[in-house]
A = this chain, B = another copy of it.
Amino acid sequence: MKRYPDAIRILVAIDCIIMGFDGTAIKLLLIKRNFEPEKGNWSLMGGFLHQNEDLEAGAERILFDLTGLNNIFVEHITTAGKIDRDPVERTISVVFFALININNQDQEALNAHNAQWLSLEEKPELIFDHDEMVTKAIEYLRYKAALHPLGFELLPEKFTIPQLQKLYEAIYDMKLDRRNFSRKILSTGLLVDTGEKYEQSATKKATLYQLNQDRYKDKFFAFWHFMPHPGID
């Protein structure tokens, strides 16, 4: 019956690297597995591809399952296929990269999956080849955020320029000059002054901005020259 009789058929997993920003550091959403294999160890959130499901749809299902969120930023970044990467049975893993606003999460769903936000420094060793996937995701973030206005996915709808700066400083692990940053970011025309102030500021209250959604698409390349040398440590 099969038209490709000689070819092998193998398991297809989907793994998701989910990143958030807590105001200071980039965090990963990881799960402490309460199921076999590798029960008790840390891993990325993942699952197997379903019968009548596109890859993207599978990623969205898994992300919704864990976070209770829809419409989150998600992109396919790589595919891992080493022969022995899953010791149980050969499995290739299609890896997705998701950015979410850490405040929007559904804490109950997270608890149900034994999930936790951990900063990159706190990150324990992960199962299988999941550490490599995380490394790729960080690299990807550094590339992409240097070229495109992507960081906003990690912030609340309304945010201040100092918050945005802290985010970039976390992504690239470098200090940026406050004044030059502000000028550069405003010159893109991507931010709109909401007229509101960030009330939680301890001192002078910073202006809250939001994304200019109209210009967002046109200005997708506005950040092209944004960072000096992302990817170099």
Contact = CB atoms under 8 A, between A and B. Distances in A.
A9 to B, nearest CB: 4
What is the count of identical protomers in the complex? Answer: 2
Interface residues of A, number: 39
Contact of A8 (B50, B94, B143, B224): B50
Interface stretch (A26-34, A80-88, A175-183): A80-88
Interface string A1-43: 0111011111110000000000000000000000001000000
A118 B50 CA distance: 38
A91 B7 CA distance: 11
A217 to B, nearest CB: 12
Contact of A79 (B2, B9, B88, B94): B94
Given A54-B82, A55-B81, A79-B55, A10 B10 contact: yes
9 nearest A-B pairs in the assembled complex, by CB-CB distance: A55-B81, A7-B48, A9-B9, A79-B79, A3-B88, A8-B51, A79-B94, A7-B11, A54-B82
Given A10-B10, A79-B79, A81-B94, A89 B2 contact: yes
Contact of A54 (B8, B49, B51, B81): B81
A104 interface: no
B221 A232 contact: yes
Contacts of A92: 12, 55, 94
A94 B81 CA distance: 10
Given A7-B48, A8-B48, A89-B3, A53 B83 contact: yes
Nearest to A227: B224
A189 interface: no
A225 interface: yes
B81 A4 contact: no
A205 interface: no
Nearest to A81: B55
Contacts of A123: none
Interface string A217-233: 00001001100110110
